[in-house]
Structure 1
């Protein structure tokens, strides 16, 4: 096999059946290698959005998404998506072509130092060669999947991609943690069971690693035993179904004051796979934190006197077996909190117009429980993060580490590509859509019948709110009005503009087809000012 064939064979053996990207000259051999083994290639309209598609693949499947670019501007355009996967803790294998090794030391046209470019935003950046092909793919795979999960970047020189590989063995490393070993860090004699037994108002704050470690059942079981309020990070939504009677809400989304008040009222926070990369507000909680994760608490965003490192689900199950049963937060306590939270969520709502919170509420009405939703970055993401009831893990996708605008549409496209029979709703703002709207043509050509709901307020609202708070005029935050219907039709999609609740409900009730539906929801943004 040549080097490209080894790479393609490895990806197929790892269960990866699709690659996203924008190819160039150094990609030709790899594209052919993938075609021959049945790894599909999806041509994004630019490298950045193709990379976001690869990230969404990793979020949805738990396997590394694969992104491909050419050299020079292709590689530089891919950087944002790799950085997004890095801070969103999502496994990815990013591949960029490069000129041949003979010219690389002295040639300058389209040449950038890709190793230096990707090292700060990936877990590992390297180059592949005929004598390292199998080893590099194995290490890239294992590194991407190791806690904390993230992207790796491989440079493929033009004179190597078609060269015969002397290292051509395909050996898959173990990537699913099944060990039950627990490492405890803390003062001598520190006892996590005693720490939990002492608490009267415990909160379990769970995050990305808990979702990736399939720890939802163990989180719920421990919460039920000790009466812990359940608080999710935005990217962990659905780890525990959000109809659970102890589910209190999502941290740092809409109504964050109420959520922080709840967490600050706790006398113990059990951080189960919670990653501080998701925090928007600084940690301001006096209660002690019991850190439970696959990695030690090296970030020190919150102080923790006791750390338990290992399989999150195993640690939680062991604790649930040993701690004493306690009342803690009652279901009535959580119900009272949730009622106040939802009242705050609807604050500022005005009858007779389409408010931002109306969009989420109406979209939820008839949505099946296995609906996949994606949210872009902006004020509407805060509403989706708090207001969308998520029943299953990996079914509410957002970028909350790097928080890159333009994420929602490519993510929703991949969701519909992987799960064509599931209802997929993309929530995005007019600013976020403007960054990636050319991908709608790809969605149409792939026959992806997703629904794209656009919050149309003609502004970059998050920034405009900050200008308003300082009594500055709106400067550099206006998004010119776009004819959503004509834009959608130009991309071979269906389009509709709605300005009231009934119009939105009718549009969302449109039967599923193989054609994307773009719904422009003309909202009044005044409610944002009240809420945020």
Structure 2
């Protein structure tokens, strides 16, 4: 019996798989889907200012909920705009279903306004791309969700042919959605791992995003403590080991990475747990000849001529850690007191200092004001490198960045989505003034949704990372000043009040007021970008 239509089946399936928000900019072809959302309990449409922002928002919903985030873009420019956020979900390993309008079958391949091949557009940006048919739309969405969640999570594109939304069909319900099971590791591979670990005098743990997804934080800490091992983190694995833990050795790739390198330079084996080179290739930080033991759901991506692979365990991560934990306890050859001294020196360099108001002092104040259970998202720029090393992160998911895709403009949409997903949690974002300009229109989204959100803008009128690279090459500063001087402009932007802070005391007062507000607030910190020069873009490899 044809008791419903395609649009209602699609929206009901999304709701039943756990989707609570669909982000996008509507089109004529989306009207039936919007009406289905309006009349379906438990799911809402969130109008974004730009499809790229909608993609970033869906990414964060996928990260925080474990259910694929969902976004929509129309033909041509809507889809290309959306593509920035879709690529981000794939390379930052967030489950997503990206919906777009598509031409009906009769017009595919024809010359039509706005028409491009969306299947071809999204193929290199997603794990899979497909389109619905009227009678099997729910089955297609279930398959898209399974693919998005399985293995390394990512985006799946689903095309919605124009004119299909109102087609009468039988009602269809979606079943339970689950990722494909991760296979158990081979016994021989576990034997090779334990042998390599037992033989190593100074193994170091390198923890990546895959370990976050595998939820093996307790095992990693136990392993470090059982054998007295230093632990390195990739930026998106922040929170897996506390900064004040004796084994914590720092974050790869970000500020003062040369000091972090003093630790891994002493290692004779890297035990990589869920290490995803999308954040930072092994060869960019491991000294030549250093051996690798990899534990991950995917084979290690490394130059095996430069780095011998002593063990490679492909499959579920937890059993491999259990095999190591079953070895006789006893400290390896590390001097954890020396590690503590290096770490203290690093954090001293990153602390706020006397003189002009700089980003280190601003982060110190923000960390003090934001509760430990609060969420801070950040954009991409020099400030990201400070946050990666300096920001105390109590647990995974309380600091959110993009380090696989690394798209400027990410921070504000990410914070909006985090607040929608966690309405009772304090949320803020830290943006450079350059990145802010890329998605400033999403302030209107925060206002429409009436989200209590603190938007921190580090204004230094400078694309500092690129300016530093210019100066390292002794090139003149060109094309990197955001503006000659001044602020982002005005006491209010898109209806969001702006408070300007010129020193730590003003910044603290503005933050405290901002977190007490009942809507979005901008706190603009006027900072000296020269503080970055001695902290970021240091030598990563010993």
Tell me which interval the TM-score lies in, with the shorter structure as reference length: over 0.9
Secondary structure of 2:107 counterpart? coil
> Which residue does the alignment assign to 2:474?
471
> Which residue does the alignment assign to 1:47?
51
Task: Note if contact 1:203-1:229 (Cα within 8 Å) is conserved in structure 2.
Answer: yes
> Which residue does the alignment assign to 2:175?
171
- After superposition, residues 38-437 of structure 1 pair within 5 angstroms as 38=41, 39-165=43-169, 168-175=172-179, 177=181, 181-183=184-186, 191-279=192-280, 282-285=284-287, 286-298=289-301, 304-329=309-334, 331-346=336-351, 351-437=354-440
Secondary structure of 1:37 counterpart? coil
Secondary structure of 1:526 counterpart? helix
CA offset at residue 298 of structure 1?
4.6
CA offset at residue 173 of structure 1?
3.5
Distance 1:47 1:482, change over 3 A: farther
- Between the aligned partners of 1:106 and 1:352, the Cα distance in structure 2 is 64
Task: Note if contact 2:74-2:100 (Cα within 8 Å) is conserved in structure 1.
Answer: yes
RMSD over aligned Cα atoms: 2.1
- Between the aligned partners of 1:185 and 1:401, the Cα distance in structure 2 is 32
Distance 1:524 1:71, change over 3 A: same
Secondary structure of 1:373 counterpart? strand
Distance 1:30 1:300, change over 3 A: farther
Distance 1:154 1:236, change over 3 A: same
Distance 1:171 1:298, change over 3 A: farther
Task: Note if contact 2:366-2:508 (Cα within 8 Å) is conserved in structure 1.
Answer: yes
Distance 1:527 1:207, change over 3 A: same
- Aligned counterpart in structure 2 of residue 525 of structure 1, from 511, 525, 529: 529
Aligned residue-pair number: 526
- Between the aligned partners of 2:353 and 2:274, the Cα distance in structure 1 is 39
Distance 1:75 1:426, change over 3 A: same
Q: Deviation per CA, 1:113-155, whole angstroms, max 9, x where unpaired?
A: 1011000110001111113312211110010011111000011
Distance 1:495 1:129, change over 3 A: same
- Between the aligned partners of 1:323 and 1:3, the Cα distance in structure 2 is 60
Task: Note if contact 1:272-1:292 (Cα within 8 Å) is conserved in structure 2.
Answer: yes
| Structure 1: gaps spanning 5 or more residues | none
Distance 1:447 1:323, change over 3 A: farther
- Aligned counterpart in structure 2 of residue 501 of structure 1, from 501, 504, 509: 504
- After superposition, residues 431-470 of structure 1 pair within 5 angstroms as 431-470=434-473
CA offset at residue 323 of structure 1?
4.5
Distance 1:303 1:409, change over 3 A: farther
Distance 1:37 1:175, change over 3 A: farther
Secondary structure of 1:132 counterpart? helix
- Between the aligned partners of 1:136 and 1:323, the Cα distance in structure 2 is 50
Q: Deviation per CA, 1:330-366, whole angstroms, max 9, x where unpaired?
A: 54233212112223435xx762310121111111123
- Between the aligned partners of 2:206 and 2:152, the Cα distance in structure 1 is 18
CA offset at residue 162 of structure 1?
2.0
Taking structure 1 as the reference length, the TM-score comes to: 0.94
- Between the aligned partners of 1:208 and 1:150, the Cα distance in structure 2 is 13
